[in-house]
Amino acid sequence: MVNFEINDKQYSAPDGTLIIQVADREHIAIPRFCYHPKLSIVASCRMCLVEVAKSPKPLPACATPVAEGMKIWTHSPCACDAQKSVMEFLLINHPLDCPICDQGGECELQDQALEYGKDVSRFTEGKRSVKDLDIGPLIKTDMTRCIHCTRCVRFGTEIAGMRELGATGRGEHMEIGTFLEQTVDSEVSGNVIDLCPVGALTSKPFHHKGRAWELQQVASIAPHDCVGSHVYVHTLRGEVMRVVPRQEDSINEVWISDRDRFSYSGLKSPDRLLKPLIKKNNEWVETDWDLALQFTIKSLQAILEKEGGRSVGALVSPSATLEECYLAQKWLRGMGISSIDHRLHRMDFSCDSGGPSPCPTFGLALTELENADTILLIGSHPRTEQPLINHRLAKAARKGAQIIMVNPIQYDFNFKVAAELTPSGGQLLHPLLGIMNALLSQKNERPHFAWLTPFLKNTVSTPEEKQVAEWLGRGNKKVAIFLGLQAQAHWHASALQLVAEALALFCQASLGYLTEGANSVGAWVSGVLPDQGPGGISLSEGKGLNAHSMVKTPLPAYVLFGGVEPEFDLANTVAARRALSESAFVVAFSPFRGGMCEQYAKVMLPIAAYTETEGTFINGEGRWQSFNAANPPPGEARPGWEVLRALTALCGGPGSLYSRSEEVRDELKHIVQNVPSVTLPSLEQRFRRIEPILSESKEGLRVVTEWPIYRVDSLVRRSKPLQDTAASPLFRARLNPKTASLYSIKGENKMRIRREGEFECILPVAVDKKIPENTVHIASALEGGGNMGQQGAVQVFLESNKDA
């Protein structure tokens, strides 16, 4: 701790604290441009110059640490003169077109010019102008306005991990830009919009649309991943104009991903469902809510009476709010429907019969994650799946953590990965068993794991796996293990989960799940599972079908809640399409129409999208985060929980009538607090169940699918700016060159992929070295990708180009 004076007042701060940090803490205004608390310090804008006793020159507050007995004046004539002269220098080449600049009203230069600027310029020469760049559909540039603070450059290097923007040229010819003419493709690139103190980098979708001062700001939670980023939704006259980050240092710091920032464009899609619709003679007829709800209930009841409780399958979006999830399962179970599930990407549920499924949380707080020493990620590409988890991983890597990836294909990481295991044929289970085996042979003094040995009798560890085992097995280290989206969607998902559990137990590590959607934990908590009720209580009777079985054998009726589009969202889209089009009755609760829904649904009920409803998301840390609606839903759309409330009432179900959504949440909270603890069957017992999998053949070609970053839910899929980015992949089968040559396939060929009796599809080939052998990698949820079946073993054939 050192004591010092600022403006003749005594303060103290820990040694090494910068003057500007103390000033910010004490609310002493010091102007600044290049300084940002989350970025490195360059002290280049010189706006924060302050007078320090015994220093002949004014010193930059952002780079000068406080010292014992230091005397600082932030508004003395010397400091003010320095600050004013820097402002004059900044303004000589800055255009004064604030009225047409999107930053106007929230511009740091404008604000500070008011205090430190002159009203008349002494610079009579011509101003510098710089050519604009086209850096993609998300960020609008106006480089003449740039004041060269290099915040965006430092953001790219330090946070995004991609050096996409840089300064070229020298002196007054210095320009910020992409070195070559290219787009900025980082998954968190939008943050430069907030960082830019002037209007050089602004939001392209928001370009010229509104003014900062007229927007209404409502705090909300981002709806696309399990991080639960805090955001502000800015609306103008009931329309969402933009989404910006809300600082929460324990979750998203000051960043949000582009997906969370720009997905709002989907809210204005022409696909919005505005009125309840009923299909009559294959024509959609607008109707009123009463009729639509009555019709829904009657149709469902008729099928239930005829075919029994297992005849209706309900798929709930993992991004539906907690209240919606809870009321949905309450209504459905009240109707006698037990097949409820939110795990849409999943195809292997063999674990479910082995006892209650664990709550899919991270296992540790995000702030702890960046302090972990070893992190094992299984089947995960956090950069596209949870971009802000990726940021925490990058921070951990920078602090020296060993990060190990076990993935079906090689990915580009923007941090140092200690080891990346990409088994052939997407067989993620085998490297894990190899690591387990190496760990067991490493530490013989753990007799209570001896039972594992017979399971690993066929496993031989590779040197790489032994190395990973060594990193994992070091004592006194903080180890975190995560099962990513691809592990959960894997054909061995249950086995992977068990082995990961065993690894975690062995290494005394935390085990976490990086789940799909924003509210997977919430869906688990509220009982949107076929065999578990609210609070995760196992149901002894009335267990239903899981998401995969629901479509594997077609059911007579389906309920789709929260914008679920089975042709994109389910693991097996072929089966899903068949099942839905063959069913007698489908009701879709969705903010959107369009797509295949119009073909198979019988009733479409418009519900509010995420900014339009209040609710709660539980993020991966298990944090309950409630938010309010920012704008009213369009047309006759109603918040989902209100629709479900009305349905429950119409059914005369056991539910009381809730007047506010908080009552729903509190009811659930009460249930959760009183859940008795359950003991799972021993790991050994559960391992028996996967024994046949362990002896399965590793050979053969397998399809591995992955949901691309901007195809994860119905809202993102309708956001045009995001769809226009370079991150939107083409529908291609990607193959290793070796595998391709094995089947005499070349890059320009088309390929026929087939699984006997299930599906067949033809698609163009891309040869890619990053794909391991025996793997066909295909992006799911793409337009035209509906005829792709689930992951796993397939046969491929070269398709002659003539047919194509």
Residues in contact with other proteins by CB under 8 A are 41-47, 49, 56-58, 60, 63, 81-82, 85-86, 88-90, 92-93, 98-100, 104, 122-123, 125, 147-148, 150, 166-167, 169-174, 207-211, 213-214
CB of 202 to other proteins, least distance (A): 12
Q: What is the DSSP string of 318-387?
A: TTS-HHHHHHHHHHHHHHT--EEE--TT----TTGGGSPPPP---SS-HHHHTT-SEEEEES--HHHH-H
The alpha carbon of residue 739 and the mean position of all alpha carbons in its chain are separated, in whole angstroms, by 32
> In 529-618, which residue ranges form alpha helices assigned H by DSSP?
547-552, 566-569, 573-582, 597-600
For residue 58, the minimal CB distance to other proteins (Å) is 7
Nearest approach in angstroms of CB 135 to other proteins is 16
Kindly tell me which of 157 and 410 has the beta carbon lying closer to other proteins. Answer: 157
CB of 432 to other proteins, least distance (A): 38
Nearer residue to other proteins within complex by CB, 117 or 210: 210
Distance in Å, CB of 65 to other proteins, minimum: 9
Report the C-alpha gap between 544 and 559 in whole angstroms.
14
Q: In the structure encoding, which two tokens stand for residue 546, read together?
A: 């899981």
Which CB sits closer to other proteins, 91 or 782? Answer: 91
Q: How far is the CB of 32 from other proteins (least distance, A)?
A: 12
CB of 69 to other proteins, least distance (A): 18
The DSSP 8-state label assigned to residue 224 in this structure reads S
3-state secondary structure of 5: strand
In the complex, least distance from residue 264 CB atom to other proteins, rounded to whole angstroms: 16
Return the bridge partners of 627, or none: 615
Q: Which is nearer to other proteins, 84 or 478 (CB)?
A: 84
Which one, 58 or 634, has the nearer CB to other proteins?
Answer: 58
Cα-Cα-Cα-Cα torsion 711, 223, 520, 277, nearest 10 degrees, comes to -70
What distance in Å separates the CA atoms of residue 532 and residue 538, rounded to the nearest whole number? Answer: 4
How many H helices and E strands in the chain?
Answer: 28, 33
CB of 478 to other proteins, least distance (A): 26
Q: What is the 3-state secondary structure (H, E, C) of 660-699?
A: CHHHHHHHHHHHHHCCCCCCCCCHHHHHHHCHHHHCCCCC
Identify which of residues 206 and 600 has a Cβ nearer to other proteins in the complex. 206
Question: In which residue are the tokens 């296992």 written?
Answer: 363
Decide if 187 contacts 258 (C-beta within 8 A).
yes
The residue among 217 and 628 lying less far from other proteins, judged by its C-beta, is 217
Residues in the chain: 804
Q: What DSSP state is assigned to residue 157? A: I
Please say which residue, 126 or 654, places its beta carbon nearer to other proteins. Answer: 126
Residue (56 or 463) nearer to other proteins, CB = 56
Task: Name which of 37 and 454 has its Cβ closer to other proteins.
Answer: 37
Q: How far is the CB of 42 from other proteins (least distance, A)?
A: 7
- Calpha distance 683→786 (Å, rounded): 38
Does residue 507 contact residue 480 with C-beta atoms inside 8 Å?
no
Q: What is the CA radius of gyration of the chain?
A: 28
Name residue, tokens 């991966």. Answer: 620
